[in-house]
């Protein structure tokens, strides 16, 4: 992948950001991990985050590592509707994604003047501006401004000049020239996915584009070609995805990855850190999960709300 023109500055910004007052100061993830084995069944597997503070620390480190690897198309996936800054267990889906965007804006606070946070539509962009107030210099814009309204063909100089059939595409995203970082905040609909694809075409690999909670595995792609584009273009740098098995009794599992580490399959716990049961270099397919469960020692099932809600409520000092 072509090197980023502002790579050194991005790495510095991600590593020297001011601390997040709501989730605690950023520190090396290794200092927070104890010496116990990650799993009785697989003692050599890496330990997973024990709480939200650990998770945000690992998110920072994974982002730094991705920039050092010269990745300029990054995908980050966390559970929808879970509060990172507030600790709410059943927060609004869009509010939780907005929190994630705010965390990334604070990571790259030195570059806020050339950072754009792109939401699916005007309402979500407006909600972000209202929630953030004057606390953030990053521009919140809509990927699909005026969604559902007919418009004429885009001008040759305007973004979206390569839009599909007139009258079916939303108004072009307001991402100005000179933008160095775009945080595209999901979840997306088909129109928003098309706009993100156009952003990738408009801005070269010297512009960092980060998908936040796009949840590409279940995204409503307009075509197989579009799905292939996102799969090839973006690297899943950080993933914390709960998986509910179809077994009887069901189990609450976690698919986890923090670049450049391998993918980890773990069992969620009612308290404490998840327990790893398998690791591999590629993403876990359904078949991979079934095989890993067949090899792992049986465990007491944990309900999804108990396990996930407990994890996201463990915010010290709240």
pLDDT digits (tens, 9 = 90+) for 170-212: 344 578 888 999 999 998 999 999 999 999 999 989 999 999 9
Tell me the per-residue pLDDT of 81-123, one tens digit each, with 9 for 90 and over.
Answer: 665 655 444 457 888 899 899 999 999 999 988 999 999 999 9
User: How many H-runs (helices) and E-runs (strands) does the chain carry?
Assistant: 9, 9
DSSP 24: B
**SS3 category, 258:** strand
pLDDT for res 316? 34
More confident residue, 35 or 57: 57
pTM, full prediction: 0.75
pLDDT at res. 87: 46
State the CB neighbour count (10 A cutoff) for residue 258.
26
**Of residues 297 and 19, more confidently modeled:** 297
| CA neighbours closer than 13 Å in the CB half-sphere of residue 101 | 38
CA dihedral 208, 209, 211, 212 (to 10 degrees): 50
Q: Is the pLDDT of residue 61 over 80?
A: yes
Q: Taking the alpha carbons of 193, 305, 314, 265 in that order, is the dihedral positive or negative?
A: negative
Count of positions (residues) in the chain:
318
CA distance 247 to 137: 48
Region 263-285: mean pLDDT is 90
**21 compared with 271, residue with greater pLDDT:** 271
Beta strands in 151-297 (DSSP E): 181-185, 208-212, 235-244, 252-258, 263-267, 275-280
- Of the two residues 166 and 83, the one the predictor is more confident about is 83
Q: 213 falls in which pLDDT band (50, 70, 90)?
A: very high
Residue 142 or 270, more confident: 142
The pLDDT, as a whole number, for residue 91 is: 52
Q: How far is CA 88 from the centre of its chain?
A: 18
Q: According to the model, what pLDDT value does residue 3 have? A: 42
Higher-scoring residue by pLDDT: 294, 16: 294
Question: For position 210, what pLDDT does the model report?
Answer: 98
Share of the chain above pLDDT 90, in %: 44
Residue 72 clears pLDDT 80, i.e. is over it:
yes
CA separation for the pair 63, 158 (Å, rounded): 31
pLDDT at position 170 is 38
CA distance 94 to 81: 7
> To the nearest whole number, what is the mean pLDDT of the chain?
75
């Amino acid at each position: 992948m072509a090197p980023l023109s502002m790579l050194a500055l991005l790495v510095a910004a991600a590593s020297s950001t001011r601390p997040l007052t709501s989730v605690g100061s950023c520190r090396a993830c290794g200092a927070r991990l104890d010496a116990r084995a990650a799993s009785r069944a697989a003692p050599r597997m890496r330990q997973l985050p024990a709480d939200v503070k650990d998770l945000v620390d690992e998110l920072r480190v994974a982002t730094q590592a991705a920039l050092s690897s010269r990745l300029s198309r990054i995908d980050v996936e966390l559970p929808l509707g879970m509060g990172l800054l507030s600790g709410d267990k059943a927060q609004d889906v869009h509010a939780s994604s907005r929190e994630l965007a705010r965390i990334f804006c604070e990571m790259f606070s030195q570059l806020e003047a050339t950072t754009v946070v792109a939401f699916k539509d005007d309402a979500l962009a407006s909600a972000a501006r209202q929630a953030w107030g004057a606390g953030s210099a990053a521009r919140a814009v809509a990927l699909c401004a005026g969604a559902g309204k007919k418009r004429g063909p885009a001008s040759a100089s305007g973004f979206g000049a390569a839009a599909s059939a007139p009258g079916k595409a939303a108004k072009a995203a307001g991402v100005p020239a000179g933008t160095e970082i775009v945080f595209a905040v999901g979840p997306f609909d088909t129109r928003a996915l098309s706009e993100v694809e156009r952003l990738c075409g408009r801005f070269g690999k010297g512009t960092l584009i980060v998908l936040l909670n796009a949840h590409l595995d279940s995204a409503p792609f307009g075509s197989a070609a579009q799905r292939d584009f996102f799969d090839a273009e973006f690297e899943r740098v950080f993933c914390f995805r709960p998986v509910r098995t179809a077994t009887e009794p069901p189990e609450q599992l976690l698919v986890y990855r923090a670049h450049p580490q391998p993918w980890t399959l773990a069992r969620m716990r009612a308290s404490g850190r998840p327990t790893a049961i398998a690791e591999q270099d590629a993403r876990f397919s359904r078949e991979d999960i079934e095989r890993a469960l067949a090899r792992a020692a049986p465990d007491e099932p944990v309900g999804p709300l108990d396990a996930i809600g407990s994890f996201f409520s463990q915010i010290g000092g709240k």
